[in-house]
Amino acid sequence: MKCRLFILASKSWARKIRILKRSYSYQMENYMDLPLEALMNDEKQFFAEIYKIKYATNAAFKTSEKSENYKDEFIGFATNYSADLNKNLETVYGSAVKLSNFSTSERELKSASGGYQSQLFFGKEAKASLFRSSAYDARILYFSLHGIANYTNGANSALIFDDRDSQCVFRAFELHQKPLNSELVVLSSCYTADGKYYEGEGIDGMSRAFLIAGTDNVLSSIWSATEQAALQLMPGFMKQFKETGDANDALSFAKRVYLKNSTPQLRHPYYWANFILISNLEIHEKSHLLLPYLYPGIIALMILLIVFILMKNRRTVVK
């Protein structure tokens, strides 16, 4: 098991755990990512039930100062795809893939967008070209689509828009072409938190690309998401985010509600723990990490200075 992360746990009522990482989850035997939410304490409680957990990248990924003058509040894309999905995708993507059609994707987006001033694109209208041309200045971007992780080159990880459009594949590297001004990106798509793993750097894929492009928070999936679980979790998450404006709080709330209302079988982490929130750290948050070392460091420097002065005076006396 490989784990490279620092954990800061506060004793406040929120009981937050903030994780600063290069690799945002446990790499277990190189074949499975286990998010911290799925771990249990001695009382058989999932960490998701007792902690708020945030995964964060380095603040240096920020490319520019963000503007809060958003052109749109919410833009969403969803499609159930055509019966010829895999055939069409093989032609466009360049290799054989096996993806299934959705049945609740569009319903999920409609439910999740409730309460927001939104532009929603369904079915044949869910085109990558529309995202490229008009969605870079929205506060919230929501994708209820298929995702493909590329484990050879993370920059080629992709979102799959409606397959009846010949330009349906949107690759991660395309996000580097234009700054993104979003506060929140929701990737309700399989494997969008996965990709090429680099020792000492973490995972390069779709989530990382959105963060580097400039968004503050990305909600994405480590493994294949189930439609029914997404249909239960995502609308609750978006409703709570509307009320609090805190993505970390909203996802924690949505997961606790899901676990409280689910059967023992559906409480299994497979159904809900795949969704994680990855954020860019603000500079003032990052500076908090230095506080535990600041005062001891100052004291140590003062002691060294005193020792240096005493030794210097002693040498002067000896002469």
CATH architecture of 5-288: 3-Layer(aba) Sandwich (3.40)
Tokens linked to 25:
């989850």
Give domain limits for the chain: 5-288, 289-319
- Tell me the per-residue pLDDT of 290-309, one tens digit each, with 9 for 90 and over: 445 555 767 777 787 787 77
Which tokens go with 169?
């594949």
pLDDT at residue 319, as a whole number: 52
When pLDDT is averaged across residues 199-222 and rounded to a whole number, the result is: 86
Does residue 240 register a pLDDT over 70?
A: yes
Give the per-residue pLDDT at 250: 95
| CA–CA separation, 224 and 231 (whole Å) | 14
- Residue % of the chain over a pLDDT of 70: 78
For the stretch 19-67, pLDDT in tens is 444 333 333 333 346 788 888 888 889 999 998 887 876 544 554 566 6
Residues 186 and 76: their CA atoms lie apart, in Å, by: 9
pLDDT tens digits, one per residue of 264-289:
999 999 999 999 999 876 533 444 44
Residues 147-177: pLDDT tens digits? Answer: 999 889 999 999 999 999 999 999 999 998 8
**pLDDT in the model for residue 200:** 66
